[in-house]
């Protein structure tokens, strides 16, 4: 009797012990399936970060710090690129590698094409900032935890090829859930070609022949033709998707950024219509009857700082639903003006230049009124004897708040030439790698340092195209 | 007396099982058993006729009666007392006085799964702490009260200001590379959650283990190594804290009522020192209003401003039109105690009552405890109530049903801590000139809030137009408006049935449960910094254990056998729903998710996990001298991949009581022991399959993300192998005891969450990798150096040394990042490197000249610094321990608990910031010229730097601008000066008590009264760390390893009285 009791008790306890409820280890809290465009959309949401950066704007010397002067003094220190790989790039790679995408969100080929174009575009930004970075062995998850660093040259080759491949694979039919171009594949194609043209221009010093060829390839593929083709990230007027600057200035009450003297000096003498958008009049100069003056702050100043005496960034710049123009028609026009002067393409550099400024003003102010007058002023009016400086300076004005791109163009052309060396510090020529690459990817990291800088990470070593 | 009663109960219970047959008897003897030391009656003494099963136990008043034969020898025995054998003869009245047997060796200890064992038969180390020793100053967190009391146990606590904050415990160093190696807490056989809902910033909600009512605790037994905890399987792999609660007594009907009250006053202590020469601002000249009046730079939250020399200036209050000083100039003078003035006197009132009773077949104990704490920070409190019942009922002679029921309810509003959180920003960013008492009344009559950190007045009008605070709220606004409240209802307990099938075989079955609901809500008010908001979370956890155990005990001649076979199903269901408003609130004071301006964020989570286990254990003894144990356990975990979810692990241990055959005079007991065990581990559910991340919908477009964590379907259980050997010695009639243990543990192929290079597309993954090796020694000394009729001195000293090495990590990756934190763009890390000690601090250091080791200086003579990859060495201490002394003189008792630690280190961001923001005296020191470093270089001021110029290679000695030096270099980008040594010696608890004599008691309706003065945290005897940082309280909420300090709550001293009444 006892034995039966015992056996029953034990067996009831151990009955079917290794069979759990089937779904006990299935995560009920997160989806196990994702569609191609859901992944692409998530990657697109990261695009605003390409420009929304204080560091980029300090490197381009658009903004000066009104308090806690720090990053604008160009201190040594790594900057992480992990977010780009783990975030948007991995999403895009998942779409590119997927074998079971569904066509319910539009042609699979187009979903993949968008993923490839964005991957190329983001990698272009990454390599321009850091130089050699992991590319061919990156984004492979458990297949490779320690990706090697590819040379910038080979990354450029790969991006050109990837973008061309993507453009060629586009089929008719739009896709849904596209935050950037609302599924318009023609615009994606133009965007891709425009990126290629800008990349080609980056080669002007290191390999002009290749640059010329790629530039022409891009043009014949069809680049942007109006501001409607601009690659724009649109923030929303709600906290979940608001702009970085709104969070800083409005939510956090941080009046930390003033326009630099460099910027104001480049714009104020010509009554540049974009200046009232870029910044606010210095509060100290405002009276009841007077709107106030635009006063730039000396970049790198650490004493006698003020939020009253200088022009802070304007309300349009920190709007909650800010539109961030990442790649623009105006840029493409500046590029063509430069290409004409370089003899890469035929045409009239001046008309490209004028159109570039006109479209920039349209983009920033919403109107082209008075543009002609603006263009006719000496100093603004095109002067082909000084084409590189003039194009570069006006492009720098246009690229306001997209500091990293402006910094890249400065590195390539050396213009604008008026620059400040805060507390004696030169302007860095690249970003240092994140500290933890030395922990997580030691051998590849050290190999990359050895190859490029003889062993120590160096923010003053030019990247490959920066000759 | 509590001690002896406790022992009595266990003895009683044991003896109860033995009595089943009666001999033929011819007459009855009776008497009273008392303690020789104090004459108090001894309940629960075994009174047994030798070599028979005839016996009884004394009742609550020490009385017994027993029917015996004239030729019998009666044995009086009780744990903790010397056994007496008395021939019956013709006597009928036996008034026996029993002598205390100090540290009796026949101690019975409660081991894994509640199996009681003779301590001398154990082949592994356990250490028991008596409940009274834990609570002599009425410390309310049982984990915290273990600090320094057990060899090999390290407790890192939190400030008393947190009121029930986190107390972290580690047994024998770090055994898990992930650092998540908290021991299992078991109360009367029921494993309970010791989870922690605190983040590294915000209110420290504390570890849930504190729901155990300290005054219910009879004893705590710490099972240190895997051999001791083997029967708990994976859950016991990091050791087990076994808590046994007080119980009622079966026997003669009796009722015992006890009342305990304590009241303490709590005061802030160990505030970081400040300079009081320079006030708020970023330069030493005042800014001026349009009318020429100087004003304090209210936008600046640093103290690099002008000298506080009484100059008449416009201060922040004068810009509020509602303020009586509006428009007025007031003297710019120091307020040296402005941070201290923020704190209040806290108090802690604790009342507990217990009722214990029983009759022949029933035992019951009911306890009720009420704790009310008002914190030292304004508007903070903790109220806790515990209610406990345990009862057992003999349905038949051999069938017992029993239950333990514990209910705890907590309700608190706790202060926040962390970097720049709550009031702890005060030492990090503040103006030395601010009068805290002026800030206290933080709202003007018209509803406007008073803040101190505003945008500057207009250069045109001289008025402040925007009264929204810029970086900081008034700390009182923070305390009264931006509050976080938490509430928890907790139940744990069991229902059990045990059946003595035969004299030797017992079957028992238990259903055990631990269930809690934790609510946390926080408010951010209108009128402060940032958007107003509200968040609420409800967290529910239910853990069930279904348990069966068969125990067989028998002995034949010289052999004894104990065998146990059991099974367990552990089932956990944890869910939460937490929500937060986004984009602000719709109207002031309306705290509801419905008030969210934009789509609120919602997190809705369910976790389920089950582990099914079977286990067996055999223990064999020979001649009461040689013992050997073996156990085997199988766990099947639902969190592991199906093909790989079952695993077995064995343990074996043995001991030899060599004093049984070696007759040495001074040595009255000696035992050597050794053990080997394997312990397995699994992982959290849902990590072996792929899921996508979800973000807030964008304009109707949904989006999903590949997660940063790479799932791994091939994960396997991992095993730890541990070896342990030790020796236990007792000398001079047990007046001196030595326990020594050496252990080694190899944690192989651990399941670790490995940080990956983000370029792989993921930030971390779970893999099987690595080998962590732990080696250590533990030494516990107990002694009674002095013992006379009136005076006794007991001491208990323990120390342990542990070394944790990361022997292997991963074929491709040899650095493991445990954690990182970024401040001012500088990231610091806690890393483990292959081949080095566990857990190194990593951050930027001074760049040094290779040949001379001197600091390299740049062209501005500022120190140069490395990338954030300098290894400052391990955070783990070299040794720690404790020293408990108890004295008794007549009716007085005095106890003092000291704990100490040698080595270990952490980063102090509080001190770094205090220096960077010009608040710390370092930032206003006198230099080699005898001039304040803040004075201009021309005037002999400046910080003296010595080093080697990086560009010329020449030695340099120069003076540099103090603000630049500290603000941009040493206080911001170089962490070398902020590595703080964690060594300390601390007087943690003191108690001086008086027990009122019996002659007084005769006139009062009480059995005894004890009144004591108690002090908690009265004195840091010595610390290597600078003032203002308590290295014993560097517990940042959920950080599993304490490696940086930032905005910790200030330390608290408590003094008070404790009153204990037995009715």
Model confidence pLDDT, tens digit, residues A336-393: 999 999 999 999 999 999 999 999 999 999 999 989 999 999 999 999 999 999 999 9
pLDDT at B158: 76
Residues above pLDDT 90, as percent of chain B = 60
pLDDT at A322 over 60: yes
- pLDDT recorded at residue B101: 61
Enumerate the H helices of B188-317 as residue ranges: 226-229
Residue B1010 has pLDDT above 70, yes or no: yes
The answer as to whether A8 is a domain residue is: no
Most confident of B252-266, B321-335, B669-683: B321-335
Number of domain units in chain A: 1
Per-residue pLDDT, A24: 86
Answer left, alpha or beta for residue B20, where phi above 0 means left and psi between -120 and 50 means alpha: alpha
Give the pLDDT confidence score for residue B804 in this predicted structure. 87
Task: Specify the pLDDT at position B80.
Answer: 66
Whether residue B694 lies within 8 A of chain A, CB to CB, comes out as yes
Of B161-165, B317-321, B563-567, minimum mean pLDDT range = B161-165
Task: State the average pLDDT over residues B157-183.
Answer: 76
Q: Could you say which of A141, A286, A439 has the minimum Cβ distance to residue B761?
A: A141
pLDDT at position B77 is 78
Q: What's the pLDDT at B11?
A: 42
Q: What is the pTM of this model?
A: 0.87
Phi, psi of B424 (to 5 degrees): -80, 0
The pLDDT > 90 percentage for chain A reads: 87
Burial letters for B559-575: b for 16+ Cβ neighbours within 10 Å, e otherwise?
ebebbbbbbbbbbbebb
- All residues of chain B having their beta carbon less than 8 Å from the beta carbon of residue A309 are 459
The pLDDT assigned to A1 comes to 46
For residue A263, what pLDDT is reported? 97
Q: Is the pLDDT of residue B827 over 60?
A: yes
Chain A: give the shortest CA distance to residue B691, in Å. Answer: 4
The predicted pLDDT at position A10 comes to 53
The per-residue pLDDT for B6 is 43
**Nearest-angstrom CA–CA distance, A258 and A275:** 12
Mean pLDDT over residues A303-326, rounded? 94
Q: Tell me how far apart the terminal alpha carbons of chain B are, to the nearest angstrom.
A: 14
**Closest CA relative to residue B730, chosen from B115, B107, B111:** B107
Separation between Cα atoms, residue B566 and residue A10, nearest integer Å: 8
Distance CA B762, CA B1033 (A): 35
Tens digit of each residue's pLDDT (9 = 90 or more) over B310-329? 999 999 999 999 999 999 99
Q: Which helix (H) or strand (E) holds A164?
A: helix A152-169
Q: How many Cα neighbours within 13 Å face the side chain of A234?
A: 10
For residue B37, the model assigns a pLDDT of 66
- The set of residues, in sequence order, having a beta carbon less than 8 Å from that of B940 and lying 6+ positions away, is B927, B929, B930, B931, B959
**Dist. CA A16–CA B569, nearest whole Å:** 12
A277 within 8 A of A314, measured Cβ to Cβ: yes
Q: Kindly state the average pLDDT of the residues B956-974.
A: 95
Question: A183 lies in a domain?
Answer: yes
pLDDT of residue B1035: 63
The pLDDT of residue B1037: 55
Range of the domain at A209: 36-71+80-239+321-453
User: What residues pair up with B46 in beta bridges, in sequence order?
Assistant: B57, B77
∠B303-B304-B306 over CA atoms, to 5°? Answer: 100
Poorest-pLDDT segment among A307-311, B14-18, B216-220, B820-824: B14-18
Asked if A134's CB is within 8 angstroms of B456's CB, the reply is: no
Question: Which pLDDT band holds residue B5 (cuts at 50, 70, 90)?
Answer: very low
Interface size, chain A vs chain B, as Cβ–Cβ contacts under 8 Å: 277
**Residue in B763, B757, B705 with CA at minimum distance from that of residue A92:** B705
Mean pLDDT for the stretch of residues B440-454: 96
pLDDT at B12: 40
Phi, psi of B760 (to 5 degrees): -75, -10
Q: How would residue A9 be classed by pLDDT, with cut points 50, 70 and 90?
A: low
B210: closest CA among B131, B143, B130? B143
Distance CA A154, CA B761 (A): 20
Predicted confidence at residue B914, as pLDDT, reads 96
Chain B neighbors of A32, CB-CB under 8 A: 689-692
Examine the pLDDT at B26 and tell me if it is beyond 80.
no
Stretch B431-441: mean pLDDT, rounded? Answer: 96
Q: What is the pLDDT of residue A199?
A: 98
Domain contains A271? no
Q: Mean pLDDT, chain B, as a whole number? A: 88
Q: Which of B209, B237, B243 is nearest to B225 (CA)?
A: B237
For residue A262, pLDDT over 70 is answered with yes
The pLDDT tens digits for B896-926 are 999 999 999 999 999 999 999 999 999 999 9
- Lowest mean pLDDT: which of A111-115, A201-205, B964-968? B964-968
Neighbouring residues of B663: CB distance < 8 A, sequence distance ≥ 6 = none
List CB contacts of B645: < 8 A, sequence separation 6 or more.
A18, B636, B637, B638, B639, B717
Q: Would residue B1031 be called left, alpha or beta, if left means φ above 0 and alpha means ψ between -120 and 50 degrees?
A: alpha
Residue A428 maps to a domain: yes
pLDDT at B198: 80
pLDDT band with cut points at 50, 70 and 90 for residue A400 = very high
**Per-residue model confidence (pLDDT) at position B98:** 80
Sheet holding B943-949, edge to edge: B856-857, B943-949, B955-960
Q: B610 touching A, CB under 8 A?
A: yes
Q: Give per-residue pLDDT as tens, B751-765.
A: 888 889 999 999 998
- d(C-alpha A364, C-alpha A367), whole Å: 8
- Within 49-108 of A, beta carbons closer than 8 Å to B belong to 67, 70-71, 73, 75-78, 80-87, 89-91, 93-94
Q: Mean pLDDT throughout B963-989?
A: 94
pLDDT at residue B19, rounded to an integer: 36
Q: Which of B87, B193, B260, B956 is nearest to B513 (CA)?
A: B193
The string of pLDDT tens digits covering residues A65-120 is 999 898 999 998 999 999 999 999 999 999 999 999 999 999 999 999 999 999 99
Q: How far apart are CA A29 and CA B663, in angstroms?
A: 67
Which pLDDT score, from 0 to 100, does residue B106 have? 55
* Contact: B459, A308; criterion CB under 8 Å: yes
Q: What is the pLDDT of residues A230-247, one digit of tens each?
A: 999 999 999 999 999 999
- Report whether CATH 3.10.20.740 matches the domain B2-98: no
Greatest Cα-to-Cα distance within chain A, rounded to the nearest angstrom: 111
DSSP string, A8-64: HHHHHHHTTTT---TTTTS-SSS-S---HHHHHHHHHHTGGGGT--HHHHHHTT-EE
Contact residues on chain A for B690, CB-CB shorter than 8 A: 32
- Nearest Cβ partner of B509 from A9, A39, A145? A9
In sequence order, what DSSP letters do the residues of B960-1024 get, joined into one string? E-HHHIIIIIITTT--GGGEEE--EEEEEEEEEEEEPPHHHHTTSS-SEEEEEEEEEEEEEEEES
A458 part of a folded domain: no
ipTM of the complex, rounded to two decimals: 0.91
List chain B domain ranges.
2-98, 280-333+431-471
The reported pLDDT for the residue numbered B76 is 84
Q: Report the b/e string of B789-828 with b at 16+ CB within 10 A.
A: eeebbbbbbbbbbbebbbebbbebbbbbbbbbbebbebbb
Q: Read off the pLDDT of residues B110-131 as tens digits, 9 standing for 90 and up.
A: 788 778 888 888 888 888 888 8
Q: Could you tell me the pLDDT band of residue A167, with boundaries at 50, 70 and 90?
A: very high
Q: Does A377 touch chain B (CB under 8 A)?
A: no
Greatest mean pLDDT among A195-204, B146-155, B221-230, B457-466 lies in A195-204
Does the CB of B529 have a partner CB in chain A at under 8 Å?
A: yes
Tell me if chain A has a CB within 8 Å of the CB of B703.
yes
Is the CB of residue B417 less than 8 Å from the CB of residue B202? yes
Of B530, B685, B765, the CB nearest to A142: B765
Q: CATH no. for residue A346?
A: 1.25.40.390
Lowest mean pLDDT among A102-116, B18-32, B204-218, B453-467: B18-32
Q: Please tell me the distance in Å from B528's CA to the nearest CA on chain A.
A: 10
CA dihedral A386, A391, A392, A398 (to 10 degrees): 150
Positive or negative, the CA dihedral B159, B163, B166, B167 is: positive
Calculate how close chain B gets to A464, using CA atoms only, in Å: 21
Q: Give the relative orientation of helices A387-398 and A403-413 as an angle to the nearest 10 degrees.
A: 170
Instruction: List, as one string, the DSSP characters of A91-129.
Output: HHHHHHH-S---GGGS-HHHHHHHHHHHHHHHHHHHHHH
Minimum distance, in Å, between the CA of residue B780 and any CA atom of chain A:
40
- Which band of pLDDT confidence, cut at 50, 70 and 90, is reported for residue B57? confident
Please give the pLDDT value at position A16. Answer: 45
Q: Are B826 and A77 in contact (CB under 8 A)?
A: yes
């Amino acid at each position: 009797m006892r034995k039966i009791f015992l056996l029953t008790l034990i067996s009831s306890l151990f009955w079917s012990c290794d069979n759990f409820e089937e779904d006990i280890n299935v995560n009920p809290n997160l989806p196990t399936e994702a569609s191609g465009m859901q992944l692409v959309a998530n990657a697109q949401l990261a695009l605003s970060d390409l420009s929304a950066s204080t560091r980029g704007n300090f490197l381009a010397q658009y903004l000066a710090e009104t308090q806690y002067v720090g990053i604008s003094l160009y201190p040594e220190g790594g900057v992480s690129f992990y977010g780009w790989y783990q975030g948007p790039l991995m999403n895009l790679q998942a779409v590119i590698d997927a074998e079971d995408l569904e066509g319910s969100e539009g042609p699979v080929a187009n979903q993949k094409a968008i993923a490839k174009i964005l991957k190329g575009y983001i990698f272009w930004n990454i390599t321009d900032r850091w130089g050699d970075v992991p590319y061919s062995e990156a984004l492979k998850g458990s297949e490779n935890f320690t990706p090697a660093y590819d040379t910038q040259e080979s990354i450029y080759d790969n991006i050109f090829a990837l973008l061309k491949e993507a453009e060629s694979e586009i089929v008719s039919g739009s896709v849904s859930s596209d935050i950037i171009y609302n599924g318009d594949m023609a615009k994606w194609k133009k965007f891709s070609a425009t990126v290629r043209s800008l990349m080609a221009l980056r080669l002007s010093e290191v390999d002009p022949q290749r640059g010329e060829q790629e530039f022409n390839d891009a043009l014949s593929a069809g680049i942007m033709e109006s501001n409607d083709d601009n690659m724009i990230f649109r923030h929303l007027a709600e906290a979940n998707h608001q702009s970085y600057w709104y969070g800083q200035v409005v939510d956090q009450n941080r009046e930390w950024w003033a326009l630099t003297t460099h910027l104001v000096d480049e714009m104020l003498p010509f009554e540049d219509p974009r200046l009232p958008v870029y910044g606010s009049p210095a509060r100290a100069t405002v009276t009841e009857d007077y709107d106030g003056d635009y006063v730039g702050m000396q970049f790198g100043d650490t004493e006698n700082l003020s939020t009253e005496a200088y022009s802070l960034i304007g309300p349009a710049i920190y709007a909650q639903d800010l539109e961030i123009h990442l790649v623009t028609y105006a840029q493409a026009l500046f590029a063509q003006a430069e290409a004409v002067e370089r003899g890469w393409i035929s045409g009239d550099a001046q008309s490209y230049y004028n159109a570039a400024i006109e479209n920039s003003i349209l983009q920033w102010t919403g109107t082209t009124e008075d543009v002609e007058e603006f263009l006719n002023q000496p100093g603004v009016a095109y002067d082909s004897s000084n084409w590189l400086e003039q194009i570069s300076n006006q492009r720098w004005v246009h690229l306001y708040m997209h500091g990293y791109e402006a910094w890249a163009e400065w590195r390539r052309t050396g213009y604008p030439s008026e620059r400040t060396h805060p507390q004696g510090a030169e302007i860095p020529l690249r970003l240092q790698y994140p500290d933890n690459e030395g922990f997580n990817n030691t051998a590849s990291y050290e190999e990359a340092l050895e190859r490029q800088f003889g062993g120590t990470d160096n923010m003053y070593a030019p990247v490959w195209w920066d000759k | 007396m509590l001690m002896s009663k406790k022992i009595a109960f266990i003895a009683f219970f044991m003896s109860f099982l033995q009595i089943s047959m009666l001999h033929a008897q011819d007459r009855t003897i009776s008497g009273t058993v008392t303690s020789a030391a104090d004459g108090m009656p001894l309940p629960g003494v075994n009174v047994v006729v030798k070599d028979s099963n005839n016996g009884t136990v004394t009742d609550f008043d020490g009385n017994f009666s027993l029917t015996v034969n004239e030729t019998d020898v009666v044995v009086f025995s009780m744990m903790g007392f010397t056994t007496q054998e008395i021939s019956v003869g013709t006597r009928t009245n036996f008034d026996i006085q029993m002598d205390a047997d100090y540290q009796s060796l026949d101690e019975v200890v409660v081991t894994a799964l509640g199996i009681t064992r003779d301590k001398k038969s154990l082949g592994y180390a356990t250490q028991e702490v008596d409940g009274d020793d834990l609570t002599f100053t009425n410390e309310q967190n049982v984990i915290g009260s273990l600090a320094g009391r057990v060899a090999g146990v390290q407790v890192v606590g939190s400030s008393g200001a947190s009121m029930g904050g986190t107390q972290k415990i580690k047994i024998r160093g770090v055994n898990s590379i992930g650092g998540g190696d908290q021991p299992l807490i078991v109360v009367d056989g029921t494993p309970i959650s010791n989870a922690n809902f605190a983040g590294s910033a915000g209110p420290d909600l504390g570890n849930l283990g504190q729901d155990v009512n300290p005054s219910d605790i009879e004893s705590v037994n710490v099972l240190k190594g895997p051999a001791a905890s083997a029967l708990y399987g994976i859950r016991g792999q990091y050791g087990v804290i076994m808590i046994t609660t007080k119980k009622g007594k079966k026997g003669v009907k009796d009722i015992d009522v006890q009342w305990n009250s304590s009241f303490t006053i709590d005061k802030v202590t160990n505030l970081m020192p400040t300079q009081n020469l320079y006030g708020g601002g970023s330069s030493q000249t005042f800014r001026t209003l349009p009318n020429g009046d100087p004003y304090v730079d209210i936008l600046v939250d640093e103290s690099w401003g002008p000298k506080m020399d009484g100059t008449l200036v416009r201060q922040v209050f004068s810009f509020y039109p509602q303020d009586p000083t509006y428009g007025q100039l007031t003297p710019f003078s120091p307020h040296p105690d402005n941070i201290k003035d923020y704190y209040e006197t806290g108090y802690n009132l604790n009342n507990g009552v217990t009722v214990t009773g029983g009759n022949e077949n029933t035992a019951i104990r009911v306890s009720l405890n009420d704790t009310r704490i008002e914190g030292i920070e304004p508007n903070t409190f903790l109220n806790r109530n515990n209610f406990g019942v345990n009862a057992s009922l003999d349905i038949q002679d051999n069938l017992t049903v029993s239950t333990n029921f514990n209910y705890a309810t907590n309700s608190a509003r706790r202060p926040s801590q962390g970097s720049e959180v709550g009031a702890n920003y005060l030492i990090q960013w503040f103006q030395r000139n601010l009068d805290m008492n002026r800030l206290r009344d933080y709202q003007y009559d018209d509803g406007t809030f008073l803040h101190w950190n505003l945008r500057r007045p207009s250069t045109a009008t001289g008025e402040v137009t925007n009264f929204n605070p810029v970086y900081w709220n008034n700390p009182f606004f923070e305390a009264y408006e931006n509050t976080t409240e938490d509430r928890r209802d907790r139940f744990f307990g069991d229902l059990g049935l045990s059946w003595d099938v035969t004299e030797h075989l017992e079957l028992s079955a238990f259903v055990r449960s631990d269930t809690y609901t934790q609510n946390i809500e926080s408010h951010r008010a209108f009128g402060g910094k940032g958007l107003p908001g509200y968040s609420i979370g409800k967290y529910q956890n239910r853990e069930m254990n279904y348990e069966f155990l068969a125990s067989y005990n028998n002995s034949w001649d010289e052999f004894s056998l104990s065998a146990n076979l059991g099974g367990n199903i552990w089932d956990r269901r944890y869910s939460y729903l937490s929500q937060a408003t986004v984009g602000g609130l719709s109207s002031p004071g309306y705290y509801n998710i419905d008030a969210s301006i934009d789509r609120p964020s919602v997190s809705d989570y369910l976790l389920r996990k089950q582990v099914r286990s079977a286990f067996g254990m055999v223990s064999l003894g020979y001649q009461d001298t040689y013992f050997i144990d073996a156990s085997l356990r199988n766990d099947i975990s639902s969190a592991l991949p199906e093909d790989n979810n079952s695993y077995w692990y064995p343990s074996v241990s043995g001991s030899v009581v060599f004093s049984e055959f070696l007759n040495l005079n001074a040595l009255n007991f000696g035992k050597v022991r050794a053990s080997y065990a394997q312990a397995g581990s699994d992982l959290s559910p849902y990590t072996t399959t792929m899921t996508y991340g979800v973000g807030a919908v964008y304009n109707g477009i949904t989006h999903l993300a590949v997660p940063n964590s790479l799932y791994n379907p091939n994960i396997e259980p991992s095993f730890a192998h541990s070896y342990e050997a030790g020796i236990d010695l007792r000398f001079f009639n047990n007046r001196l005891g030595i326990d020594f243990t050496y252990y080694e543990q190899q944690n192989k192929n651990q399941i670790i969450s490995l940080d990956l290079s983000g370029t792989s597309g993921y930030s971390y993954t779970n893999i099987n990798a690595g080998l962590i090796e732990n080696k250590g020694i533990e030494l516990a000394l107990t002694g009674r150096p002095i013992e006379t009729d009136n005076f006794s001195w007991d001491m208990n000293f323990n120390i342990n040394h542990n070394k944790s090495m990361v022997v292997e990590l991963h074929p491709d990756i040899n650095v493991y990042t445990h954690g990182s934190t970024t401040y001012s763009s500088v990231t610091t890390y806690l890393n483990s490197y292959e081949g080095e000690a566990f857990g190194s601090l990593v951050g930027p250091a001074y760049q040094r000249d290779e040949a001379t080791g001197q600091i390299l200086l740049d062209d501005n003579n500022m120190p140069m610094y490395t990338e954030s990859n300098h290894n400052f060495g391990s955070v783990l201490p070299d040794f720690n321990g404790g020293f408990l002394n108890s004295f008794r003189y007549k009716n007085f008792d005095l106890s003092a608990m000291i704990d100490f630690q040698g080595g270990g280190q952490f980063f102090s961001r509080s001190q770094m910031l205090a220096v960077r923001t010009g608040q710390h005296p370092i930032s206003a020191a006198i230099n080699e010229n005898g001039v304040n470093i803040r004075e201009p270089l021309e005037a002999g001021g400046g910080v003296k730097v010595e080093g080697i110029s990086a560009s010329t290679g020449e030695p340099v000695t120069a003076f540099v601008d103090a603000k630049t030096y500290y603000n941009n270099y040493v206080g911001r980008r170089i962490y070398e000066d902020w590595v703080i040594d964690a060594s300390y010696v601390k007087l943690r608890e003191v108690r001086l008590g008086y027990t009122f004599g019996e002659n007084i008691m005769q006139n009062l309706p009480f059995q005894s009264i004890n009144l004591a003065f108690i002090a908690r945290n009265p004195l840091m005897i010595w610390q290597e760390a600078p003032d203002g940082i308590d290295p014993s309280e560097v517990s940042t909420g959920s950080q599993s390893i304490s490696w940086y300090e930032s905005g910790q709550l200030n330390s608290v001293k408590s003094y008070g009285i404790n009153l204990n009444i037995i009715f």
